[in-house]
A = this chain, B = another copy of it.
Amino acid sequence: MSDSEVDAHLRERTLQSTRVYQGKFLDVRCDTVGLPDGSTAQREYIVHPGAVVIVPILDDGRLVVERQYRYPMQCVMLEFPAGKLDPNEPPLACAMRELTEETGYRATEWARAGILHNAIAYSTEGIEVWFARGLTAGRSSLDQGEFLEVTTATFDELMQAANDGELTDAKSLICLLWLQNWHNGTWSLNWQKAP
């Protein structure tokens, strides 16, 4: 049996799809779907281009992180560098671009850890997690209207911040899960030279 047959009792089918809002950033859809029992329902969600988050590891083991005001949160958040994919941009190219734009750093080695889906109830967004090492500092070039502070922290400091509730950004917490299991040898990374 194919996956679709196995999950036929769970699957929802698109009957109609409508774009209900198109902003400069948010693309909002409302679809009518057919449910497994033959009834119908509405599903409202964001169409998102996808994103990357970067775990930049300095030669001394410290990690490069950012403090950035996140308007929906109404506060400054501690997080790993991240950004949205440009149209047709491969994730690694995006990771290299965002790391340099936001922090000034360039990396000689990269490894794709995995992907996470951060709002599966209402967004198509997937965020690829990329590790970067062999870092050299340089000049950042923030987008218009982008303000952030670049700093460094140890893994232990970030784990403490997570435990204390000071680091609550989901993608960054998942970077810590990857770091912890890479450190303890359970999960491995496939490093490649920067193209």
Proximity string of chain A (5-26) to chain B, C-beta cutoff 8 Å, 1 when within and 0 when not: 0010111100000001101111
The closest CB in chain B to the CB of A40 belongs to B145
- CB pair A7–B76 under 8 Å, yes or no, is yes
Question: Which residues on the B side are within 8 Å of A26 (C-beta)?
Answer: 28, 44-45, 122
Instruction: State whether A10 and B126 are in contact (beta carbons under 8 Å apart), knowing that A165-B115, A171-B170 are contacts in the complex.
Output: no
Contacts of A139-179 to chain B: CB distance below 8 A: 145, 147-149, 159, 162-163, 165, 168-171, 173-174, 176-177
Binding site for B on A (CB under 8 A): 7, 9-12, 20-21, 23-26, 28, 30-31, 33, 35-37, 39, 41-46, 67-73, 76-77, 79, 114-127, 145, 147-149, 159, 162-163, 165, 168-171, 173-174, 176-177, 180-181, 186-187
CB<8 Å pairs between A and B, sample of 20: A10-B69, A11-B69, A20-B23, A24-B42, A31-B71, A39-B145, A43-B71, A43-B72, A46-B46, A70-B121, A79-B120, A117-B169, A117-B170, A119-B125, A120-B169, A127-B170, A159-B181, A170-B170, A174-B177, A180-B181
